Amino acid sequence: MRTVSYESLQADQAWMVVSDQLNQRNTLLSRGISKLEQQQQSLPIASRLMTLRFHLRQSLRRLTSEARRRPENADQAEALNQQWCHVHQLYFLLRQIDAELTNAREDSDALNEWLNTMESRVYKSALVHLN
């Protein structure tokens, strides 16, 4: 049984925030790919976004699997440290996705126009929970 502490709750909250952000990016990628696939000239950008989405899903599976493999009798401090490492890896993945989306947006007028028509949404900053 895992002891609940303020620090473990903070790590859980950070995991949920960054996971939510990654889920939003996954949805955005999916919708963007569908939009780009409608235009022949946009297929190379759609392919880049598909590769990015695949990388996102594989990374999430790997990190989730690693998190579940932690032994029950693991030292609590080490378990918390490991959880924060996973949160930071997820956050790094989020930043990679945002950078790639920015690059794709610059390379594709169709993607840029589509993203401009979407309702602007303010994403929670995962930085608050990571610092």
Residue ranges per structural domain of the chain? 32-68+82-122
Range 85-102 average pLDDT: 91
The whole-chain average pLDDT of the chain stands at 84
Q: Against a cut of 0.85, is the pTM above it?
A: no
- Give residue 33's pLDDT: 94
Query: What is the C-alpha to C-alpha distance for residues 113 and 45, in angstroms, rounded to an integer?
Result: 14
17 burial level (CB within 10 Å; 0-12, 13-18, 19+): buried
- Give residue 88's pLDDT: 93
Per residue in 37-55, pLDDT (tens digit) is 999 999 999 999 999 999 9
